Amino acid sequence: MHIMNGVDIIPNMNVKDRVLLATFPINGSFVLGVYQGTLSEFDLLLKYRQRIDGKWSRIRTPKHIHWAVDILIKQHAENQTTEEFLDFLIKMWDEQIIPINSNAERDTLLNEKTLLDSVEKDAQNYSKLANKGEYSIKFLILMAKLLMIQEKTNYEQAYMFRNLLGQLKEHKDLFKIISTATHS
């Protein structure tokens, strides 16, 4: 735990039987930990903590459904900007995200400064979404990027995350979105 002026700014992210590869603090409200997963040699396991009422939550595993519900809230509050955000994520999936195939690629990806600078830059385009929903836009971008990489690393022809983005963009019915987000 990192303490500044009596306040823990980065809580302990250690998880039993997991190797912590990187930690990413976001806005003093979220900390995302990236761990060595077990599904493949370069699998990434994501976990996070959220500051709520001045206290850090327990360590949580983000699920697609959590992310999708937050996007639905953002769509309701700020539809046009959320549509642009979904277009950005779809383009990222289609044109930028590639599987991790080496320790060097993983180390480059998980460089804290480089990754957080990229998230900061991308988030500026969606500032209208900053206070909508549960998750900050910076946290969503970071989490989405890492979830996409995780999915493509474990199965290069993966499509579930991409399908979910498309369904959110197309305003599919709630049942379909929830079924996709929960892998049903």
Confidence of residue 9 (pLDDT cuts 50, 70, 90): low
Query: Is the pLDDT confidence value at 153 over 60?
Result: yes
Q: Residue 133's CB: how many other CB atoms inside 10 A?
A: 21
Question: Are 75 and 82 spatial neighbours (Cβ–Cβ below 8 Å)?
Answer: yes
In this predicted structure, what is the pLDDT of residue 123? Answer: 95
Question: Are 165 and 84 spatial neighbours (Cβ–Cβ below 8 Å)?
Answer: no
CA atoms of 134 and 158, how far apart (whole Å)? 27
CA dihedral 74, 96, 30, 36 (to 10 degrees): 140
CA atoms of 124 and 84, how far apart (whole Å)? 12
pLDDT in tens, 58-115: 999 988 898 899 999 999 999 999 999 999 999 999 999 999 999 999 999 999 889 9
The neighbouring-strand residues paired with 27 are: none
In this predicted structure, what is the pLDDT of residue 150? Answer: 92
In this predicted structure, what is the pLDDT of residue 160? Answer: 85
Q: Which helix (H) or strand (E) holds 33?
A: strand 30-36
What tokens appear for 33 in the block? 């930990």
Percent of residues, the chain, with pLDDT higher than 70: 95
Question: Are 49 and 56 spatial neighbours (Cβ–Cβ below 8 Å)?
Answer: yes
Lowest model confidence (mean pLDDT) among 58-62, 102-106, 122-126, 152-156: 152-156
Please state, rounded to an integer, the average pLDDT across all residues of the chain: 90
